[in-house]
Amino acid sequence: MNPPALVRQVSVNELRQRIGSEQYLRVLSESGDILLTDYTRGCRTVLKLKQGTLYPHAFYNQVYYGDKISLKLQIVDLATGNILPDWEYDAASNLTLKSGCVSNGDITIISPLEGDLGVAPTNVYNYSAIRSM
């Protein structure tokens, strides 16, 4: 018994708006820095990131639960695109490490970028050494 045939619907000229961390592309430059390019602003470079530095940032990303899609606030490293489960966005609108977590090395918190939480770029915070809470 054969499976049913695949059926495709026409999607020509149907573009889904990029949201959350999918708005950005990372490109390694010749100097070794990571260039963060913004798809929503004419594919221009918006930040130059250093390799080996953690850049935690809050985004509302799409999360799939079976056949349902919802938005979930996630903390993502801008340099790698990886989700950071040890970080959280607290009620005072600050990015912090969860209780009991330790981070080594340089950390740069860029808060916020346009599109992540609906506001334009404002402050850049730099942290070095070991942080624990």
In a 10 Å sphere around its CB, with 0-12 CB exposed, 13-18 middle and 19+ buried, how is residue 19 labelled?
middle
Give the alpha-carbon dihedral of 37, 81, 130, 109, to 10 degrees. 40
Residues 117 and 59: their CA atoms lie apart, in Å, by 6
Please tell me the predicted confidence (pLDDT) of residue 83. Answer: 92
The backbone torsions φ and ψ at residue 21, rounded to the nearest 5 degrees and listed phi first, read -70, -15
Please tell me the predicted confidence (pLDDT) of residue 20. Answer: 80
Domain boundary assignment for the chain: 52-132
Segment 58-110, tens digit of pLDDT: 888 888 887 787 888 888 898 999 999 888 877 666 778 887 777 777 888 77
